[in-house]
Structure formats: C-alpha cells, structure tokens
Structure 1
Amino acid sequence: MKRLILMCLALLCTAASASDHRESPAIQADPHADLTDFYAFLNPRDSSKLVLVMAVNPFQATVQEGAYHFTPDARYRFNIDNNGDAIADRVIDIRFGAYDTATHKQSYTARINNDISVTGLVTEGTRITREPNPPIITDGPQGIRTFAGTRDDPFFIDTVGVQRTFAGTGRFTATDALAGYNVSAIVIELPLSMVTAPRGTKLGLWASVDRKDNSRSQQAEIEQPATGERGEKFHQIQRLGNPAVKVIFIPDELKDLYNATRPHEKVAMWTNVLVNTLRAPQFSLKESEVQRLAGLFAPDMLHIDLSKPIKFPNGRWLDDDSIDIIFTSNLDTDLPILYRRGELDGVNHNDVPFSNDFPYLAPPHQAP
C-alpha cells in the first residue's frame, strides 16, 4: 500500500500541470506554440469521417478575449502514419495570416496532403457581448470542414486537489481547475479515405508545431529542418501524441529535446528514458508492465484501430477521462487517497458539455 501511494505521489504531482499545458521550460515562454491537447475521433453521426483537434494558447482569461491569436510564424500540423513506421504518410498543415488590427480578422489556410487547400477565417473571442461569437465553419471539397478560433478548454482535472492531497494539506474536491478557461483550437474533419492506406484500419496520429528559423528560440534541434511549401525552413518545437506522457514520464531537463524530435527519431533513447522512469522503486511495477507501458508511449502516437471501438487509448474523444484511464488501469482502485472507488480526482467530465456537431468543442467562456 505504501509503495502504491508513493507511486501516485510521484506520478500525479507531475500531472498537476494539467495535461501538456506549459509542460516544458522553453514552451512556457511561447504560448502560441504550446500544444495543450490533441484529440482524434470519428464524427459521432458519420463514422466515415475523422475528426482531429489540437489546442494551443492555454489559460486564456475571459476578460482578455480578443487578445489571443494564432501566430503567422508557426506551422500547426496534424500528422498521420498509416503503415506503422511512425513517419507521417499524410499531413495537414495550418498556416495563419497576420492579425488585422483594423478589421479584427485573421485568416488561415489548411493544406491537406500537400494537395487540397481550404481557406477560412478565425473565430475571434469577444468581450463586447454576453454571448460568444458564433463559430465560423468553412466547408471545403470532398466533405472537409475546418475551424480555428477560441473555444472552452476541453481538458478536465482537479490539479489543485492533486497538490493538496499529496502535500497533506487537503483532499480532492472534484473541482475542475481548468473550468472557465479558454484555448485557441484548430479542428479538421475529413473523410477517412484521405488518410488511411488501401484496406488499412490502423492509424498513428500526433500533432506538432514548427517555428520558422528566423523566429525560433534557442533549444534542441530535430535532426533535419523541415521545408515548407514557400521554401521556408522550420524547426519543430512541440509535439503531442498521448496525453500527459511528457508531463508524467519525461524528466524536465529532457522535455525540450522531446518536443524537438519526431516519433520515429531517437526511439531507443526515449524508450530507455521511459523504462528507467517506470523502473523506479517507488513505482513498484512488474517488468512486464514496464515494457507494456514503454511500448505504448514510444514511439509516442495516439493510435486508432478502426476495427475496434474508439475510446482512449484507441483514439481519444473529447469526453474521455484519459488521466483516470491511465492511472486506474495500473493502480489499486481501493486506495484511500482516491476521490472515491475507481475515480482519481472526482472530475469525470468537462465543466460545460461538448457538442455532437462540428466543431464539437464547447463555446468559449465569456467575461461576466
């Protein structure tokens, strides 16, 4: 029992930074490129459509709505591997124009597989009205739909309860620490046939953010810079597959390097890092469990097997309680430190309901 409580302490106190919100030293100073969450699921009304969601720019205060924008100096990317080699076979790049201070508008272009382009307008947050601006949804060819703009932060966890429970100064209270905060979200919906291999049913997916060289901060480089369609040189500074892997399992001094590498790069190194972390005495894990978890998270991609039900870790719905799923699969659910039997922190759903309609994330919160 003592070892399991220590395991909870070591893991959950690191998870208290809220999924991947400001999780690495370099990204804390670059919120426009800070990937907070990544989701991949099927349209709940049409299983032939894949939905991809990434969120950046965390902890947006409602009294500052209208002040959060996407940066033109970054390339936001969805990566899809359809043959199991952890290298992207299909990519969706989203680039943003400059924010127009006169019209309060910002445009974006989503380029799918270097072939199809969809151009739309960002849905800006507003303080002027009591209701948020309605989402600007752009319909492209072949059933593609796109959205970019301010939405409610979809992640949910009692981060304050995590800290106080293990510091001995309080307990879990089932309070969502991210309730009331907004993020900048990008949502793409497209036919599965655009990203799957012929007769293929398995996908590996992750999100990434690249900075142009002339705006790049000093940090570890990936092995080769990527070249954009305009001849620009980029370096990757963020990536996200499974939620909270960096936060929980990667030491702080290696997080920036992790963000700068792609899933197929330095796999042996990251596997060793994960194995060494999981073998720590306070974790008290069997070797078979160490190897299973290391194999799940390295290479770090969100996996989807279309022949099976889509629920984390097979894809990730917005309402999947992914942190509970990660921990309760490995911990004794009768531990007295849990909020209640089978629950980690008592926060089992988002503070506001999601939608069954595109763009699926809840509308942004408004200033009171």
Structure 2
Amino acid sequence: MSDHFSGPAVLGDPAVDITDFYAFASPERPGNLVLIMDVFPMATSQSYFSDVVTHRFRLRPLTRSAGSVTCGAAEETIDIRFSDVPEETAVQKGHIVTSNGREASFVVGKPFEQDGLRVFAGLVSDPFFMDVEATLRTDILGKLSFNTATNTVQFRDVLSIVVEVPVAPIVERFDGVTLIAAISEIVVTRRGKPIRLERLGRPEIKNVMIANSARDPRTRGVELRDLYNREDAFALSREYRSLYESRLDANLAFWDGLDGKTAWPSGSDGRHPLRNLLMDDFLMLDLGQVFAPGSFLDIERALIDNRPHESAGGRWLDDDILDELLTLLANGGRGERLGDGVDAPTKPASPTFPYVREPNRRADLPLPEFLRS
C-alpha cells in the first residue's frame, strides 16, 4: 500500500507514518521542482501534523555510469515543522527552512507563496490508488490475483505537505548536475543528532519488496521494515545491508515468476539483477527536463537498458505506480502490461498548485479489510 502502515512502529502514531512521496517538475511553472510528502493514513478533520518531529526532504546529485548511479556528497534539505494546536483554536501553523537560507512561516490549510517559494499543508484526498487486498492475495497465493479492481483508499484522506522551489539554486549547488536523488523523511533531534522515524523514496519497497519474510531463509520471520526505516537512504549500514539484500533477492525472484517466466535470472550467488537499483531507495529526477505525466521509473528503465533517459522521471500524483512496478518486476517491461485494474485516484490531480485535491471528509468508511484481518 505504497508506504501506508509501513512497519509496526508507525502503527502507534499515524502522524509520523509517511504514506507517499512525490517529486516532479512543476506542470504549472517550468523551472520549478515540486516535492510532496503525505502522512497520517485515513486522516480526518480532527487530524493534525505532529509538532514534535521534522518533516524533511533531501536531495543529492547523481553521477551516471553505465547501468548504475552514484550519489554525491552535496545535499539540499528542506525542513518543515508544525506548532502545537492551542485548545481554544483549531489553527495549526508551520515553518519551513531550506539549506540555501530560505525561511518562512505559514498557516495549515492555506497556500503560501513568497519570492518563488510555494508551500501548502493540510487535509487532502489521498492521491494514492491501489487494490491492496488483490496485491496481498497475489503475495500470499503465489499467483496473479488482481480480479477485483477495487481502490482500497477510495474516498480516504491524508495530511499533505507540498513544497515548490526553483530548480536553478539546486543545480548551482550541485555544480550543474541536473540528475538528482530525492527522498522524504521524518526525524526527531536528540543531542543535536537526527533520529530517523520513517523514510520514503520509491513506493512499495517496504510494503511489497521487504514486508514478506517467508521466502528468505536467512531473514525468515524477521520484521525488517522498522530497521529499514531508520537507515539513511544514502548510506545504508554495513551491519544490516546484507539482510535487506537477501530479503530483496528472495522477493524479487517471487514477483518475477508470477507470469510463469523468468525475466531476471539471478546470479550464481542468488543476486537478483534489480537488487542494487532498488536498494538505492530514492526517486530519480532530471531537473533539466520538463514535466511529463507517466514518467515513473523512466530513468530506472533507461539505466537497465544502458541508454539515455528521455524524461524528468520522478513520480507524478496520477502515475500508476503499481502497474509500472508489477510489469517491470514480472516481465522486465517487455511483455504484457500487468496491473490491479485501478487506474486513477479518487480525485485526479490538479495541474495547478498545490496539485493535491480537496479532502473527501467521509466519516462512513469501514476499516479496510487488510487492517481488520
């Protein structure tokens, strides 16, 4: 389910549960980058952003070499914090600070703009779409079981943070490099050091690629997602990296075999060909390209084919990430397009800022089946 409920730890505090992360060239203002972090699955009008954590976007330059990329050390960060909500009011305020010296305050629920910087935070319709139960059936039964075409998050709401910034200062900071890596994080600071509670780069890495512990003898029965959430996406720990690799190898091989064919033969050591690419768990974007919907995984596929990429990459709000991922994993994108039959969110994205859509405010929705069970 993208990154909703991505581990036992975040179940105890939905305000620190990142449900989705989007990064794309602005469709409204060429030369600008849009970053969106959604939190708090199944949020309501009574839901608020946590006032004890920092919501952080991190960007780094990428150097491409043959079929891989390497992250540079330079980094651009954007931090957003929120105030407590006084008892006598329902108004929550936010504050944004960027590593290039920008700083501003804003009110939740109201779009804010200052000198090219745009910010919005508030309750919105959940832009994610997926048949979660069908994905779980497929994972458990070991065969394609996408026969219900039901959007599990239909009419659900989340809390969303939308930031739009000019591209030029970022490219200048990265010495002219336009190919970048982007992630979202939630951190708390203790004794001057950040403690990561949750992070998200590509969707479904934790809930599909890492969640199932039954197939890998080395990590069978071990819940890795909380541990993975605390890792720095740009510097995985040497102590635990091999555990994530082993889990990925086993589960990637499973998803590859769902169509009865092998698109990605594993090496003699069990290494799956997509392991390293997906272990670099961040969205890839080219800031020199213009907005184009449906570009999710375009840069990754170009890396696999060892050819130049032709789009901005990243992830747009309406990109059908489940279909793209499933097709890539099962047949390498060279066969039938596979999917769950759910092709659009509850409310399609807006082409203008803040791009997310007004909340549904539905109080009559039952708990999803996968949570009840």
After TM superposition, the score normalised by the length of structure 1 is: 0.77
Matched residues in 1 for 2:59 and 2:194: separation? 19
Deviates more, 1:270-279 or 1:24-33: 270-279
Matched residues in 2 for 1:86 and 1:31: separation? 33
User: Letter of the aligned partner of 1:345 in structure 2?
Assistant: D
The correspondence for 1:67, drawn from 18, 38, 46, is 46
Matched residues in 1 for 2:183 and 2:208: separation? 18
Q: Does 1:354 align with 2:346?
A: no
Structure 1 residues 89, 333: closer, same or farther in 2, change over 3 A? closer
Residues 243-302 of structure 1, C-alpha deviation per residue, up to 9 Å, x if partnerless?
Answer: 111122225522111111112323656653354234436455413795542222223111
Residues 118-141 of structure 1, C-alpha deviation per residue, up to 9 Å, x if partnerless?
Answer: 210011xxxxxxxxxxxx111122
- Across the aligned residues of Structure 1 and Structure 2, the Cα RMSD in angstroms comes to 2.8
Kept in 2: contact 1:162–1:172 (CA 8 A):
no
Q: Does 1:185 align with 2:160?
A: yes
Structure 1 residues 79, 137: closer, same or farther in 2, change over 3 A? same
Residue 317 (structure 2) aligns with: 318
Which ranges of structure 1 fall in alignment gaps of 5 or more residues? 1-17, 124-135, 214-224, 228-232, 335-340
Residues 11-56 of structure 1, C-alpha deviation per residue, up to 9 Å, x if partnerless?
Answer: xxxxxxx111111111111111101110000111322000000000
How far off is 1:352 after superposition?
Answer: 1.3
The correspondence for 2:196, drawn from 236, 242, 258, is 236
Residues 118-166 of structure 1, C-alpha deviation per residue, up to 9 Å, x if partnerless?
Answer: 210011xxxxxxxxxxxx111122x110001001111100112334566
Residue 133 (structure 1) aligns with: none
Kept in 1: contact 2:147–2:340 (CA 8 A):
yes
How far off is 1:195 after superposition?
Answer: 1.9
Residue 263 (structure 1) aligns with: 233
Residue 108 (structure 2) aligns with: 122
Residue 117 (structure 2) aligns with: 144
How far off is 1:303 after superposition?
Answer: 0.9
Matched residues in 1 for 2:210 and 2:114: separation? 39
Structure 1 residues 348, 326: closer, same or farther in 2, change over 3 A? same
Residue 198 (structure 1) aligns with: 175
Residue 329 (structure 1) aligns with: 328
Structure 1 residues 86, 299: closer, same or farther in 2, change over 3 A? farther
Structure 1 residues 258, 71: closer, same or farther in 2, change over 3 A? same
Matched residues in 2 for 1:164 and 1:177: separation? 14
Kept in 1: contact 2:249–2:275 (CA 8 A):
no
User: Letter of the aligned partner of 2:50 in structure 1?
Assistant: T
Which ranges of structure 2 fall in alignment gaps of 5 or more residues? 63-69, 212-221, 257-261, 298-312, 364-373
User: Letter of the aligned partner of 2:120 in structure 1?
Assistant: F
Kept in 2: contact 1:87–1:263 (CA 8 A):
no
Matched residues in 1 for 2:106 and 2:246: separation? 46
Matched ranges for 1:27-46 at <5 A: 27-46=10-29
Matched ranges for 1:9-48 at <5 A: 18-48=1-31
Structure 1 residues 191, 103: closer, same or farther in 2, change over 3 A? same
How far off is 1:242 after superposition?
Answer: 0.8
Kept in 2: contact 1:86–1:264 (CA 8 A):
no
Percent identical pairs in the alignment equals: 31
Structure 1 residues 290, 361: closer, same or farther in 2, change over 3 A? farther
Secondary structure of 2:15 counterpart: helix
Secondary structure of 1:72 counterpart: coil
Residue 55 (structure 2) aligns with: 76
Secondary structure of 2:276 counterpart: helix
Kept in 1: contact 2:123–2:158 (CA 8 A):
yes
Residue 300 (structure 1) aligns with: 281
Count residues in correspondence: 312
After TM superposition, the score normalised by the length of structure 2 is: 0.76
